[in-house]
Amino acid sequence: METPIRSEARFFDRTSWDNVTCRLCPHMCSIAPSRSGQCGVRSNKGGTLHVDSWGKTTSIDHLYAENLPLFHYKPDINWVRLAGRGCTMRCPFCDTWKYSQVGGVRQSRMTPDEAISIARESGAGGIAFGVNEPAPMHEFIEETFNAALRAGMETHLATSAMWSQEPLREIAAVTSAFTIGLKSMDHDFCQTQLGCDLDIVLSNIDMLLTIGAHVELTWLPIPGHSDTPEETERLLTFLGRLRPHPPVILLPYRPDYTWGTTSRASTLKELRGISEQLSNHPGMVYILDPDSPEINTRCRGCGKTLVRRGMARMVITSERNGEPLTACPKCGTPVPFVP
């Protein structure tokens, strides 16, 4: 049976001459008929905004918990991660540009209920959206996450937080955990190179924490740009203002897209140096590299390893008497992850 298409979007205003203004993200694109906004997947059809990517998935990944940059959230469940097309940013080094920059990737269409069925059949306990920026797929994600919560599953978004606040608050109501990617603390670099508004991104992070969302941050130190002591100090200053303190996960930089041949990859030694600079962050700092000891989730109190990562298809969680761990067996500090 053919999958129904529900492509009409929300968060837009009709303007003169059949133009529409999309309010989903801070770009506030004014879109002429038969044209799309900057994301490439929200288009004006006869004076109405439509989501061209509704239900269209470019990949379906079955992930173990250690495959997600999610260090303080339920390490005992597996995930099904869906990807689509489009992005609210334009990073010149993007290593998933075939998804985020539209085009070049085969798509298949599914309903939210079909996504839940796929997760159930694989034994997954959660549905995630990532690879490309999920914001342009807002309506489909919201419906899928509602279905997942009804089925007793967890939900996760990996996002740049380049959303308008109203739709982000709405999606937060059905999202169990966020991983938010930061790539620079320099306003000019964000605006001219990444196509994002840093003030809005940082404000959105603060808003999500304030309303009680589970938030983890990733930091991408770009050699020659965001790997400087000045950038790291700006990040540390911002982190110090946040309550509660989120964990920070350092990501290796592997350039692709238009910067693929013009910038070099980061090294584990460099990531360790930045980790040391951030060592005073009370939210804890990790490095997403299997060769780094900072890949294991640790106790906030004594540093004992609580979740051992880096082994293929394996997350080892310490337990007491067969029961899920709620406190460090060494010092008694509550575990940093959601049990």
φ/ψ (deg, to 5) at 144: -65, -40
Condensed to tens digits (0 to 9), the pLDDT of residues 20-52 reads 999 999 999 999 999 999 999 999 999 999 999
How much is the pLDDT for 313? 56
Chain mean position to CA 206: 15
How much is the pLDDT for 311? 66
How much is the pLDDT for 1? 40
Within the chain, strands assigned E span 12-14, 20-22, 30-31, 42-45, 48-51, 56-57, 59-63, 79-83, 108-109, 126-129, 154-159, 177-182, 214-219, 248-250, 285-287, 297-298, 305-311, 314-317, 319-320, 323-324
Does the pLDDT of residue 179 top 60, yes or no? yes
Q: Which two tokens stand for residue 311?
A: 């082994």
What's the burial of 115, exposed, middle or buried (CB within 10 Å: 0-12/13-18/19+)?
buried
Condensed to tens digits (0 to 9), the pLDDT of residues 7-21 reads 889 999 998 778 999
CA distance 142 to 85: 16
Condensed to tens digits (0 to 9), the pLDDT of residues 85-131 reads 999 999 999 999 988 876 667 788 899 999 999 999 999 999 999 99
Condensed to tens digits (0 to 9), the pLDDT of residues 78-89 reads 999 999 999 999
What's the burial of 259, exposed, middle or buried (CB within 10 Å: 0-12/13-18/19+)?
middle
| Closest to 133 in 3D by CA, of 22, 42, 11 | 42
Least confident span in 57-66, 164-173, 234-243, 264-273: 57-66
Does the pLDDT of residue 175 top 80, yes or no? yes
The CA-atom distances, in angstroms, between 223 and each of 1, 47, 275 are 50, 44, 15
More confidently predicted of 282 and 217: 217
> Is the whole model's pTM more than 0.85, yes or no?
yes
Does the pLDDT of residue 310 top 90, yes or no? no
